[in-house]
Amino acid sequence: MSSKPELAASRPAIDFIDLAAQQRRIKPKLDAAIARVLAHGGYIMGKEVGELESQLSAFCGAKYTLSCSNGTDALTLVLLAKNVGPGDAVFCPSFTFAATAEVVALRGATPVFVDILPDTFNMDPASLEQAIAKAKKDGLKPCGIIPVDLFGQPADYDAINKIAKTNNLWVMADAAQGFGGEYNGRKVGSLADVTTTSFFPAKPLGCYGDGGAVFTDDKELFDIMASLRVHGKGTDKYDNVRVGLNARLDTMQAAILIEKLAIFGDEITERQRVANRYNAGLKDVLATPAVPANMLSAWAQYTLVASSEAARTTLQAKLKEAGIPTNIYYPRPLHQQTAYASYPTATGGKLPVCEDLALRVFSLPMHPYLENETIDYIVENVRAIAATL
Ligand SMILES: *Cc1c(COP(=O)(O)O)cnc(C)c1O
């Protein structure tokens, strides 16, 4: 069998995400960009920050881009600008990174957890409608929806925006994983009232530290967030018109992101190549990711579904022996986490799809620089292990 340790030992280590390969590709440009910031010394809100914001708006088709300190603060800036607080219900999928619901709970509002669709891992519109009814019954005031583009794939914005409109709710897309994706020919960043993303190093568009951004066409919202980003400033930061944050993106990170954004479109194409090759090699042995024809995923992760929790354990252990790293996103849905277990769910209890998938999903190495030969080695090993299950 191809997963023999001696074969693994003869191969270079396989990275789950290879940031070094990307760095080698653009190293001279990164060095020059960093040197320019060191030379001009405008470390806070230097000119690269505004340049990046313009380039991001042009890339995704949003009228306004506000860069900020990280993807979590991006979500918080929007909730602060919209005055979300106690008594308000905000609807989030339970199968996501904690930040999506954390920001809601920190404002004193109530995250209401929604189940996901079994094939796309994204918010289930039917469960969302159930959650809205549940929140009203509980005496909460529904105010907004936070769909997540899990693993890079856009949520079903047509269905979600329609439900939002009927119920007079805003939609904030948490595109920390989805930036670079498309839905009906439109880029993520222009699919909801407001969209947030993260530039955490491991995200599809990552910097070398923390960073994030908010995208919107709403000028009033943008202006309030621009004030909130710098301590609620009015004419300047010593004129404080509202209680705000220090939530700026560093100039150095903006300069780095400008160089990475220049190759981002090409990297998305390369991620699609990797996903296509995995799909072709694995679709007859395991449940491979389903991306509807009207969507393009940013492929933050390539996630498979094993037939059972035991099958997943075996697959992960044997892949590890063959030198192939895997990860589980996410081992436990938020409504089952200690910090969030007391918040309501769409059903008032279990969210069966999230709970089932948390036991069976696992992700394979995914990055734009994964070579075909390495993908084939991974595919061959997954196939060989799956055949024994
Ligand atoms: C990474 C992530 C965030 C948080 O981004 P940070 O930049 O780490 O604060 C929020 N939501 C989702 C879905 C994420 O994957």
**Mean pLDDT of the region 138-152:** 98
> What are 95-132's pLDDT values in tens digits?
999 999 999 999 999 999 999 999 999 999 999 999 99
Query: Above pLDDT 70, what percent of the chain?
Result: 98
Q: Atom of ligand 1 at shortest distance to CA of 203?
A: 1
Decide if pLDDT at 3 tops 90: no
List the strands of the sheet with 64-68, edge to edge. 64-68, 212-216, 194-198, 170-174, 141-145, 88-93, 110-114
* Cβ-contact 228, 82 below 8 angstroms: no
Pocket test residue of 68, 92, 100, 245 for ligand 1, highest count of atoms within 8 A of CB: 100
> What are 240-282's pLDDT values in tens digits?
999 999 999 999 999 999 999 999 999 999 999 999 999 999 9
Which residue lies with its CA nearest to atom 5 of ligand 1?
71
How many other CB atoms are there within 10 angstroms of residue 337's CB atom?
14
Decide if pLDDT at 45 tops 80: yes
330 CA distance to ligand 1 middle (Å):
13
Confidence of residue 237 (pLDDT cuts 50, 70, 90): confident
Q: Atom of ligand 1 at shortest distance to CA of 99?
A: 10
Decide if pLDDT at 221 tops 60: yes
Which residue lies with its CA nearest to atom 6 of ligand 1?
71
149 CA distance to ligand 1 middle (Å):
11
Question: Can you give the pLDDT at residue 9?
Answer: 58
Q: Which residues have C-beta atoms less than 6 Å from ligand 1?
A: 70-72, 96-97, 99-100, 148, 174, 176-177, 198, 200, 210, 212
Backbone angles phi, psi at 27, to 5 degrees: -55, -50
**Mean pLDDT of the region 224-248:** 95
**Mean pLDDT of the region 311-318:** 98
6-20, 74-88, 312-326, 371-385: which has the minimum mean pLDDT? Answer: 6-20
pLDDT averaged over the chain?
96
> What are 287-309's pLDDT values in tens digits?
999 899 999 999 999 999 999 99
DSSP letters for 90-151: EEEESSS-THHHHHHHHTT-EEEEE-B-TTT-SB-HHHHHHHHHHHHHTT-EEEEE--B-GG
> What are 187-215's pLDDT values in tens digits?
999 999 999 999 999 999 999 999 999 99
CA distances from residue 213 to 17, 18, 299 in whole angstroms, order as listed: 22, 23, 19
Pocket test residue of 75, 198, 208, 257 for ligand 1, highest count of atoms within 8 A of CB: 198
Q: Atom of ligand 1 at shortest distance to CA of 198?
A: 7
CA-based nearest residue to 100, from 91, 314, 238, 353? 91
**Mean pLDDT of the region 30-59:** 98
Pocket test residue of 69, 95, 116, 174 for ligand 1, highest count of atoms within 8 A of CB: 174
> What are 316-359's pLDDT values in tens digits?
999 999 999 999 999 999 999 999 999 999 999 999 999 999 99
Please report the sign of the dihedral spanned by the C-alpha atoms of residue 67, residue 70, residue 71, residue 76.
negative
- 287: three-class secondary structure by DSSP: strand
Confidence of residue 2 (pLDDT cuts 50, 70, 90): very low
